[in-house]
């Protein structure tokens, strides 16, 4: 089951996930016979659908953080 084709041009975004989060995304994708990208798109849609609440701080950094001096 893929994303329906439309005349819209989707934007690309690269994200870095913690290893455990990545494994969970892949496991859910496999269980539901969809791609990992589909799981991520669905998660973003679900989050944005209820985004009236303020964002909370991430539970941990997802990659190297550069120090600002």
**Domain count within the chain:** 1
Residue 38 resides in a domain: yes
Residue 25 resides in a domain: yes
User: What's the pTM value of the predicted model, to 2 decimals?
Assistant: 0.63
| End-to-end Cα spacing for the chain | 48
Residue 36 sits in which domain range? 19-49
Residue 37 resides in a domain: yes
Residue 57 resides in a domain: no
- Helix, strand, coil share of the chain (percent; to 5): 40, 0, 60
How far apart are the C-alpha atoms of 44 and 13, rounded to whole Å?
12
Q: What is the pLDDT of residues 24-53, one digit of tens each?
A: 999 999 999 999 999 999 999 999 988 766
- Average pLDDT for residues 58-65, to the nearest whole number? 58
């Amino acid at each position: 089951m893929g994303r329906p084709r439309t005349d819209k041009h989707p934007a690309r975004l690269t994200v870095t996930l913690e290893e455990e989060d990545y494994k969970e995304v892949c496991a859910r994708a496999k269980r539901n016979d969809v791609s990992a990208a589909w799981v991520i798109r669905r998660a973003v849609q679900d989050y944005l659908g209820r985004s009236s609440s303020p964002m909370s701080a991430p539970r941990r950094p997802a990659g190297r953080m550069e120090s600002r001096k």
